[in-house]
Amino acid sequence: MKYYKSFILFSLFAWTFISCNTDDLERDIDALKDRVTNVEAQVQRLNDEMNMIRVLLDGNKTITDYSINGDTYTLTLSNGETLTLTPGATGGNYPSIEIGDNGNWVIGGVDTGWRAEAEDGEDATTTPQFKIEANAADGGKKYWYVSYDDGASWTVLENGLAEGTNSNSNPISGVTVNGDNFEITFGGQKYLIPIVKGLECIINVPESVTDGIWMVAGGGESSFTVKVNLAEGDLVRVNAPSEWKAKLSSYTTGTTEVTVTVTPPSTPSECIIVVEVTHGVNTATDQIKAKTTSDSYWAEYQAGFDIKIGDVIINKFDYPNAELKNDGESITTEGLFFVAKDATVSLSNNSLKDLILIAENKNEYSKVKTLSGKPAIEVKLLCKGIHLFAETEGLTRAYWLNLGGKEAVEQVYFERCKIEIPDGKNFSYFSGGVGITNFVIHSCRISMARNTASLNFLNLYSRAYENIEIKNNIFYCRDEDAYCNSVLMTLGTGSINGNVIIDNNTFINILNHSSNYYVTLPFKSGWSMKHNLVWYDNGEQGKTKALIGKAVDGVTIDNKDFVNNRVFTALAATTLEWKIFNSIPGAGFNNSIEVATANTPFEDGFVDVEGKYTLKPEYQGIGATIK
């Protein structure tokens, strides 16, 4: 196993206006533009090189065509992919990129756990992507960020400052065309990729691909096509596990497309299907990850599948002792529990250090009832597909969920849950412990009862937090002809050191009469509250309503982080004026929110007390979309 370490360099030079002269000003502006262009070029070059390194490590591609423009090479691979490569030295500061002895990517000195090298005929699991952004938590300094999921999420690299200079060199130090091979010098060694004109093996991606996985019905036939360019003597093969029963259509010289048909097992299963085209001594391959569809998380867990809750991966290898709880049973210890379809399970231990609750069925909520007061979470609470409600007897406090313990809670995640807040209670009041690292509520239905006194959904009190995400949720009053007076989020003397994202939520008869705005904590630059939808036909009071109280004093707030919030009311006329901030965050900020009276954004069938609706086509993109 080879061990590589590479450093690519790049620098950002500070610039200052040294004169009021117009020519000097224009030169400085041009210099700034050049610097920004240079940053973009360096990031692009690094990502191009990472893709090229992936091809070298996989070793199952050939080059069908190439062109050269100056010192830039454009390569067309046998799977149809196009890569651009510009070798050579660059200047600046760059994180270390290594491949460990175990074959994993080691970025910035940390083993990422992601495989870099092909294994057992299967391509590597990921190719890291990089970007440079200012880190608000560190005074706006520019840092390198890395993503292992095709840019869906990004992590700042520790000690990954993108400012300064050093003298390290580009990992791909040279390329050249050597006969019928493309020669690349990487890590001091030379690698050859064959150039075979016309050799193609390109899987045409089926429509049923989701997040890079081909979803197929278990037990039935499914197929995809592969683009080829077969010459005399070429061979085509398909490799898949025997239980998937993969077969090829017939082909001859001159065939340009073959069909692969598979019959997967009826039980949950996943595999990599590899198609090979062999031309003489060269072989080109392409592959697709396939997975049988299933409506059971429990069955997928037993089959060894990954189940994601936020950024946490749940499977039987990392969590081997899961239990399936049936109707009438209780959860009294920490651990991973699946709750059976149509079951109601009691949560009777209110001091929980580590608890994961997942519904058995993907399409239905499983019920979990809290008993005897308030649940106190000390380390982690993850819920997926859970209908959470409370036995009100013994619930004497004004709040339901509590944060306890002496250490920071790592994660509190609710994903695709139904949360039924007890009548007259605040959802949470985090007075114990030292804070939460990540608090995430995604795609949940959250109901509150009729209430005219102010209730808090998240009372963050005096604790410390890193990141809070409230996205794609429906908050609604579950009582007929009523409203709930509620504040979405408030913070006392605590702090939030990361990001706050409150996007694409819907509020149905949830109004804020006590403070007159949903969020009482001051917003920082880079936080967002956009694409939210408010609908009401009850509880109109006062004159002005706002989404947010104010911004942090002295910060610059960008309008793009607060766009497309809309308010609708079934009332023929409204006395309420809506805006984004109660206190305007600065000159030039568009603080208004459009209010549509006597109009609804919902199709027929809207049920306000159940939070169920379908958005009209013209309003797609605002509010929550939950199936």
pLDDT in tens, 102-117: 778 777 778 888 877 7
Tokens of 506: 């819907």
pLDDT in the model for residue 157: 77
At residue 314's C-alpha, the angle toward residues 308 and 320, to 5°, is 165
Q: Which of 419, 529, 527 is nearest to 465 (CA)?
A: 527
pLDDT at 122: 56
> If phi over 0 gives left and psi between -120 and 50 gives alpha, with beta otherwise, what is residue 564?
left
pLDDT at 376 over 80: no
Highest mean pLDDT among 6-20, 49-63, 267-281 belongs to 267-281
Higher pLDDT, 169 or 296: 296
How many CB atoms sit inside 10 A of residue 281's CB?
A: 7
Read off the pLDDT band of 90 (50, 70, 90): low
Say what the pLDDT of residue 613 is: 95
Pick 484 or 38 by higher pLDDT. Answer: 484
Interstrand relation of 63-69 and 72-77 (parallel, antiparallel or unpaired): antiparallel
> Residue 141 is encoded by which pair of tokens?
């300094």
CA 203/CA 276 separation, integer angstroms:
11
Stretch among 21-35, 68-82, 88-102, 603-617 having the lowest mean pLDDT? 21-35
Averaged pLDDT, 271-300: 92
Residue 217 · residue 301 · CB < 8 Å: no
CA distance linking residue 498 with residue 212, whole number of Å: 30
Average pLDDT over residues 342-347: 93
Higher pLDDT, 291 or 113: 291
CA neighbor of 214 nearest in space, from 246, 182, 257, 191: 246
Given a contact cutoff of 8 angstroms between Cβ atoms, the answer to whether 404 and 432 are in contact is yes
Mean per-residue pLDDT, 135-146 = 75
Residues 259, 216, 336, 385, CA torsion sign = positive
Q: What is d(CA 329, CA 42) in angstroms, rounded to the nearest whole number?
A: 58
Asked if pLDDT for residue 573 goes beyond 90, the answer is no
Supply the mean pLDDT for the chain.
82
- 339 has pLDDT over 50: yes
pLDDT-based confidence at residue 372 (cuts at 50, 70, 90): low
Q: Would the pLDDT of 604 be above 50?
A: yes
Please report which helix (H) or strand (E) contains residue 47, including its range: helix 22-58
Query: Quick one: which of 614, 247, 341, 622 has its CA closest to 471?
Result: 622
Report the first-to-last Cα separation within the chain, whole angstroms: 48
pLDDT tens digit sequence for 180-199: 888 887 766 787 888 888 89
DSSP 522: P
pLDDT band per the 50, 70, 90 thresholds, residue 609:
very high
Greater confidence, 395 or 25? 395
Residue 364, pLDDT score: 95
pLDDT for position 74: 85
pLDDT higher than threshold 90 for residue 227: yes
pTM for this entry: 0.73
More confident of the two residues 406 and 222: 222
- If you average pLDDT over residues 525-538, what whole number do you get? 94
Q: Is 553 helix (H, G, I), strand (E, B) or coil?
A: coil
Identity of residue 303: A
